[in-house]
Structure formats: structure tokens, C-alpha cells
Amino acid sequence: MRFARLAGLSGIGFVLLLLGGNLVLVSAGFPNPSDRMELDEIAPAHVDASDALRLTSALLPTAWLLATIFAAGVFAALWRHDRVRGEGWAMVGLAGILMQCVAFASVGASRLAVATAASHDPGAVAGLWGLHNALFGFNQIFLATALLGLSVSGRRAGLVTRWHAAVGVLGAALLFLAATTSPYGTDGVNPLSLFGLVGWLLWLVWIVAYSLFLIRGADRPAQGHAVTGGLSPHPVSH
């Protein structure tokens, strides 16, 4: 199997794992950072959802392995075009995905720490939950970096369509806004967390579109765009 095809399948697998894991957590009543919760509600919610939390946490190593293979495939397809133009947008995008894997590993670890404290040391729950929310908020900047770098590189190389690049740039803008405002949340909840959710959903759509690009052939230019370098006359905005 060509590596590009493997990378595309890995991207789709990554998206399916994320959606499945979040569905399991939501079904179990697990709180998310956009939920405004009283302190005495956090510990019971984590205890009740502990089995679902352990299951989804066990899926994370596979998810981030798939994400890394996907990122390497996209980077390999774009880097030669960036080198010709003397640019580094593909490298920016690759760094964003790799840093996001590291950051979200910290988010997952903090979730498990909250669940453990809920059962054995309830006094530590508030601080750990605050740490989890902070990590979750700042994690979004790495998603934004990945979307921006790989969208700009792909569009300038003529390998992705205008709508695909537009989805990436818009998602990056929303995620950057959510990450920047996360320290100003009321009662630990970011007032613009909905922007982050929309940006995350756009990130999933963007990954699927890039995965299909890799599967069908990473050397094929986007329809209606010759591989001449440069953005279109009306550049998309993130």
C-alpha cells in the first residue's frame, strides 16, 4: 500500500475514533469543559462515567498514532512544493498536529486524574478539573496551527480545493479565538466555547477531505487549479 493511501485511511480512522469516543462519553453523561458545573457535581459525574472514561482513554494511543501517520502523509505530499517556493507552511501544519497530540495526551491524563481524585481524594477535584479545562482550552491553538499551515500550503501548491482551504482557515480562526479567550471563562467555562466546538467540527471535516485527497492520489492537482504556486487572486481567510 502506498504511504499516501495509508495516511488517508489513518486520517479517516482518526476521525471515527474521535467521534466514537466522544459519543461514548456523552452517552455516559461525562461533563465537558463547556458545561457549567457546581463543585459538588464534578466528582459524582466522573465516578459515574469512570468506565466510559477508561474505555475512551484506552483508545487515545491508537488515535494519536493514526493522527501522526496522517500528518506525515500530508506533509510528505506538500513539503516538496514548499521547498520549491522557499516556504515552510507544511512544516507549520505538521508541528501543529504533533503538538496537538502531546497537548491532548495531557488533557486525557488530567481527566483520569480527576476521576481518581473523585474516588480517593475529593478535595483535589476542583484543582484538577481547573487544570483539565485550561489544558483543553489551550490545546485548541495547536489544532488552529495545523489547520492554518496545511491549508495554506495545500492551496498554494494547488493540491486542495478552495472550499477545503476555506474550511481549514475558518476552523483555525474559530479555534484560535476559543483558545485565546479560554482564560477569561466565567466559573471556569469559556463564554466562546461554542466557537471552539464549531472549529473542532470543521477540523474533522477538513481531515476527511484531506484523507480523501491522499487516498485518490496526492500528486493530483485540485480541479480547476494548476500547480503554479501562489494563492488564488482572492485568498481565503482562516
| pLDDT for 4 | 92
* Phi/psi at 189 (5° precision): -115, 125
| pLDDT for 184 | 80
| pLDDT for 34 | 66
pLDDT band at residue 165 using 50, 70 and 90 as cut-offs: very high
| pLDDT for 232 | 31
Average the pLDDT over each of 13-22, 34-43, 75-84, 112-121 and give the range with the smallest value. Answer: 34-43
Q: Rg of the chain's alpha carbons, rounded to an integer?
A: 19
* Residue corresponding to grid cell 477508561: 54
Cα 236 from Cα 169, distance rounded (Å): 7
| Residue 175 pLDDT > 60 | yes
| Residue 94 pLDDT > 60 | yes
Cα 90 from Cα 77, distance rounded (Å): 9
pLDDT band at residue 86 using 50, 70 and 90 as cut-offs: confident
Q: What is the pTM of this model?
A: 0.84
140-159 tens-digit pLDDT: 999 999 999 999 999 999 98
* Residue corresponding to grid cell 457535581: 41
